[in-house]
Amino acid sequence: MPVPSDPVPSEADDPIDEAFAAYLRSCDEGSVGSREEFLAQFPEMADELRSLMDAADAIDRFTGAANGDSFTLGTSQRSAAAAGADTIGGMIVDPDDSGDDPAATLPEATRPKGDPGPTLPYDLGDYELLEVIGRGGMGVVYRANQRMLNRTVAVKMIRGGLLACENDVRRFYTEAQAAAGLHHPGIVPVYQFGHRAGHHFFSMALIDGTDLQRKINENEMPIDDAVRYVHDVARALEHAHQNHVLHRDMKPANILIDDKDRVHITDFGLAKNLSTDSSVTGSGAAVGTPNYMAPEQAGGHSDRATRQSDVYSLGAILFACITGRPPLVGDSVVETLLQVVHEPPPMMRSFRSNVPADLETIVAKCLEKQPKKRYHSASAMADDLDAYLEGRPILARPRGRVLKTWHWVSGVPLVGALIGRKVVRASPGHRRFQAAMLLLLAMMPFFVVGGAMFWSHHLQLMPEQIVIAGGLEQGVYNEVADVLAERIGKNAEVPTEVVATDGSIDNRQRLLSGEVQMAPMQASAISGDHLCVIAPLFYEAAHLLVRNQALLDSAAVSPSVGWLSGQRIAVGPSGSGSRRTAEMILDSLDLPAQSTPRDVIAWPQLDTDQAPDVALICVGRGSSLIADLLNRNWRLVSIPQNILISMQHPTLRPMTITRDHYRSDTIPAEGLSTVGTTAFLATRRNAPSAMVEAALEALYQPPTIFTGLIPRERAAEWQGLDFHLTARHYFELLAVDHSNAGGD
């Protein structure tokens, strides 16, 4: 800070001004011990004087920072590594930079009263300061001669003298102590530090040469040279880490290169001692150089810095050596910090096309946002760089294509907002992608409607082949399916096929699985949300048959079914609807399976001697199966309580079997009472409309497909059925036409 001239007292002078002027003179003369000692002399104005002293400190640091080391970003910074410059202790010197009078940087406390200040060379105890070789925001570095050892060294002295704030002094001594405890050829050694003539200073080795930032600025660096430099820095940094010291400000300007092309780490001003948890910064402070600091440091958590934080900086330095620029560069310090925290680094190949893939992988691993994904140590990174230089496989694995794609897509501002990622600056590619996304979103309703219409139209088209389920051998289902398939194939000119099944339950499973498109089945088998009705086909009656004369005699004299108790009853194959209907009837007649065993057998087995003497078969009246059994000593008997049974089961209804159905004298003239159900032609609810229309046309075209077929006029009256939409529309139009015809 410039030394003010002696004030001229006057009656108008303020006592606070006079006291502050006296303090400044004392600082210049070196006669004041400390601020507190001086303030104790003026207790009535101590607070006002302390405020003036703090303001003087702030002004001095501001003016010093304006002329020295400040945050610099990317390749746009002014290169202090111009030709002929020297570097020392992290300071870069330009001989052409006249700056302020060098004398103004010498210890203020040694200036005689009225003297603007001493000049170089200057005597500082054992050191003779020869020239200024570096100037920063906190300190000044001199080339000096150490008399006792007769060697040239560098002396770094804190700026501000007695006005230096406590934090500046702590940082200054942190740098000296951290470096002094490290002994490695890749780290600039510190010789001595202390306090003399009102100023803090330390001496260190003078490195003749250049620094890595100057190398980067000069020309495109050979890739192998860049790898070698960073490899050697990593080994030196590992030594610091092994001695519990984090650097926290690794950058190219803090890596010196001597005249033998060897690297030296310097400037431990932001170092942290892990063994004592000592640091010049606390939580909430972002310390370091923005382009090279790790995300956890840039986010204001420098107290959480670990060895992986320095590893991140090494990756950023290697990136800069190869591409000529740091990984992330913003237009301001704040924007750079935000990019470091939130933005993924670009690929080195986007700036230098000949970068090897393994090197890209090593740098990408160093620059991971999460510390645990980086190399666990600087030594591990150096090992992979060794492997690269020697042509061996590296341990780091590249990011997968999916992860790379996701990282790129998440950089789109709209996507970043949705997933909670802050996108600081979107590239032109990201902006174009977002514009395409917004256009697609705007057009999405039209695409959805158009796609739905197209898909709906596609679903209504006739299938390339129609497969219809049949039923049991000699069953009516097979007869109906055969004729229906023949007519559809002829009318619609589409291949058709009929597959034999075990009956209604089997047909239901085949429809649900998509194995068949249509199937006849009993009403009880049509349930759930996926199946619906095309048309009712015919009624099926329960036929109770007996072949044992004694049982026939008992049935003739007993109005109940007590004679059936204890008898084995054949109820049909396992997949048939007949079996389900038979079990419903037997349960209603209080004939449980424990007392009246139910044999699940195929109907042709009724001709064997091992077959039961009683069978309950639910098929269409006039079935050839029943007619054949009646011709082989089987007799039909009535099922009592048919009305009560139908009330218990909505799918069953009372029926009568007469001689018109079977020409047999064993059937009484009044017929036999029984119950029955209805067979339907069923399909899936999403079946094509064209197929349903073809099935209805084939079903009702003359001649009648089956003698017992329910006429379409009667089918149109069944409005309570769960019809397919196309079938419902068909029968509704038929009902309207029939009504109009009756009105005429």
Cβ 683 vs Cβ 518: under 8 Å: yes
Residue 531, number of CB atoms within 10 A of its CB: 21
Cβ 101 vs Cβ 107: under 8 Å: no
Beta strands, E only, 482-630: 496-499, 518-522, 531-546, 569-570, 598-599, 614-620
What six digits make up the tokens of 545? Answer: 């048959």
Cβ 286 vs Cβ 302: under 8 Å: yes
What six digits make up the tokens of 312? Answer: 């991140």
**Which residues face 677 on adjacent strands?**
540
Residue 684, number of CB atoms within 10 A of its CB: 17
Cα–Cα distance, 655 to 369 (Å, whole number) = 81
> To 5 degrees, how large is the angle CA 144–CA 150–CA 153?
30
Nearest to 680 by CA among 513, 544, 515, 511: 511
H helices of 390-497, where? 401-409, 413-419, 428-459, 476-492
253 CB-near residues (< 8 Å, 6+ apart) = 81, 90, 92, 211, 212, 213, 289
Cα–Cα distance, 653 to 676 (Å, whole number) = 5
Mark whether 609 is an active-site residue. Answer: no
Cα–Cα distance, 153 to 499 (Å, whole number) = 101
Nearest to 206 by CA among 271, 139, 124, 145: 145
**CA 411 remoteness from chain centre:** 13
Looking only at the bridges linking them, the beta strands covering 635-637 and 151-158 are unpaired
703 preceded by a cis bond (ω within 30 of 0): yes
Cβ 239 vs Cβ 268: under 8 Å: no
The residue from 249, 383, 502, 613 that is catalytic is: 249
Cβ 422 vs Cβ 342: under 8 Å: yes
The residues assigned a catalytic role are 249
